[in-house]
Amino acid sequence: MFFKTLSGRFLLLSFIFVMIAEVLLFVPSVSNFRLGYLQERLELAQLASLALLATPDDMVAPELANELLKNAEVLNIVLRRDEVRELVLAMPITKPISQTFDLRDPGFFGPIRDAIACAVGEPGNVIRVIGQPVKNAGIQIEIVLNEAPVKTAMLEYSRNVFFLSLIVSLVTGLLLFLALQALITRPITRVISSMMKFRNDPEDASNVIEPNAAISELREAETALHDMQMQLISSLRQKERLASLGGAVSKVSHDLRNILTTTQILADRLEISDDPKVQKMAPKLLVSLSRGINLCEQTLTFGKADEPEPEIKEVNLKAIVDDVIENDLLRDTGEKVQLISTVSHDTKVAADPEQMFRVLTNLIRNARQAIEGTGKLGVVSVSATQLDEGVDIIVRDSGPGLPEKAREFLFKPFQGGARRGGTGLGLAIAAELVRGHGGVLELIETSEAGTSFRIYLPDSKK
Q: Are 141 and 42 in contact (CB under 8 A)?
A: yes
Q: State residue 420's pLDDT score.
A: 47
Contact in structure between 51 and 71 (CB atoms under 8 Å): no
pLDDT reported for residue 454: 96
Distance CA 348, CA 316 (A): 5
**When comparing pLDDT for 244 and 456, which is higher?**
456
How far apart CA 312 and CA 303 sit, in angstroms, is: 23
Task: Find the angle CA(326)-CA(331)-CA(332) to the nearest 5 degrees.
Answer: 95
Write the pLDDT tens digit of every residue in 406-450.
777 787 765 545 554 445 677 888 888 999 899 999 999 999 889
* Burial readout 348-377 (b: 16 or more C-beta within 10 A, e: otherwise): ebbbbbebbbbbbbbbbbbbbbbbbeeeee
- Put simply, whether the predicted model's pTM sits higher than 0.75 gets the answer no
Give the burial string for 274-297 (b: 16+ CB within 10 Å, else e): eeeeeeebeeebeebbebbebbee
**Which H or E run includes 428?**
helix 425-436
**CA-CA distance, 41 to 39, in Å (whole number)?**
5
Task: Work out the pLDDT band at 321, boundaries 50, 70, 90.
Answer: very high
pLDDT band at 263 (very low <50, low <70, confident <90, very high): low
Directed axis angle between helix 6-53 and helix 109-120, to 10°? 90
- Which CATH number does the domain 313-458 belong to among 3.40.140.10, 3.40.800.20, 3.90.980.10, 3.30.565.10? 3.30.565.10
Domain map of the chain by residue range? 2-171, 203-309, 313-458
